[in-house]
């Protein structure tokens, strides 16, 4: 009889479960795959680095931040999900996607073994928002699609707006010099 090594047990466990971060926006709890999040920062710590932007076509984005030479657009979680406006205290900076999301709090991390498909009955924007649903400790929690916060069209608009902000800042810098 073979005895499983600790490493192989760990590997098997990691294959069958997925680590998620549970976070709150208002009274709602959401989940996001832990490996989709690069960094979690307080809004205060990013305040000095954030550049204000206002784009009527993408009202859920009011700021951009530069991180590691990349521009991240800061999406208001409340505005995105149509929830009542709250006072977010944290920013989830996503991995691979130039999006950061304002949230109220982190509840905890959890290992989930199954992500249920979103029922077909849901035919609205939520099909872009959610990867599926998890059932955890008698709660059904939607699992966020990291690339569902902004469409490619919205990214293109935001990039154009960001470029014009950068040009304006360069011009202002040149005038001051």
Which spans of this chain sit near other proteins (rule: CB under 8 A)?
A: 28, 30, 81-84, 116, 119-126, 129, 133, 135, 138-142
Q: How far is the CB of 129 from other proteins (least distance, A)?
A: 8
Q: Where do runs of H (alpha helix) occur along 17-151?
A: 43-47, 77-81, 126-129
157 token code pair: 């608009």
Q: How many beta carbons lie within 10 A of that of residue 166, not counting itself?
A: 13
Q: How far is the CB of 81 from other proteins (least distance, A)?
A: 4
Nearer to other proteins, 90 or 141 (CB): 141
Contacts of 150 (CB under 8 A, 6+ apart): 58, 61, 73, 75, 99, 158
Q: How far is the CB of 117 from other proteins (least distance, A)?
A: 9
CB-CB contact of 106 with 21 (8 Å): yes
Q: How far is the CB of 25 from other proteins (least distance, A)?
A: 9
Rg (C-alpha) for the chain, rounded Å, is: 19
Nearer to other proteins, 37 or 143 (CB): 143
Q: How far is the CB of 123 from other proteins (least distance, A)?
A: 5
Nearer to other proteins, 35 or 125 (CB): 125
Nearer to other proteins, 44 or 126 (CB): 126
Q: How many beta carbons lie within 10 A of that of residue 149, not counting itself?
A: 24
Burial of 28-38, coded b for 16+ CB within 10 Å and e otherwise, reads ebbbbbeebbe
Nearer to other proteins, 65 or 144 (CB): 144
């Amino acid at each position: 009889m073979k005895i499983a090594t600790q490493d192989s047990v760990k590997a098997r466990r990691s294959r069958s479960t997925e680590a998620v971060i549970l976070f709150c926006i208002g009274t709602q709890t959401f989940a996001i795959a832990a490996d989709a999040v690069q960094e979690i920062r307080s809004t205060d710590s990013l305040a000095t680095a954030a550049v204000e932007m206002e784009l009527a076509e993408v009202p859920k984005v009011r700021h951009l931040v530069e991180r590691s030479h990349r521009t991240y657009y800061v999406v208001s979680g409340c505005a995105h999900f149509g929830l009542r406006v709250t006072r977010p205290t944290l920013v989830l900076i996503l991995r691979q996607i130039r999006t950061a999301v304002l949230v109220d709090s982190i509840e905890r991390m959890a290992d989930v073994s199954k992500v249920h498909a979103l029922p077909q009955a849901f035919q609205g924007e939520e099909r872009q928002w959610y990867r599926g649903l998890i059932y955890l400790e008698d709660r059904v929690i939607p699992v966020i699609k990291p690339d569902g916060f902004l469409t490619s069209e919205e990214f293109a608009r935001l990039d154009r707006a960001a470029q014009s902000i950068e040009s304006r800042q360069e011009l202002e810098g040149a005038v001051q010099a």
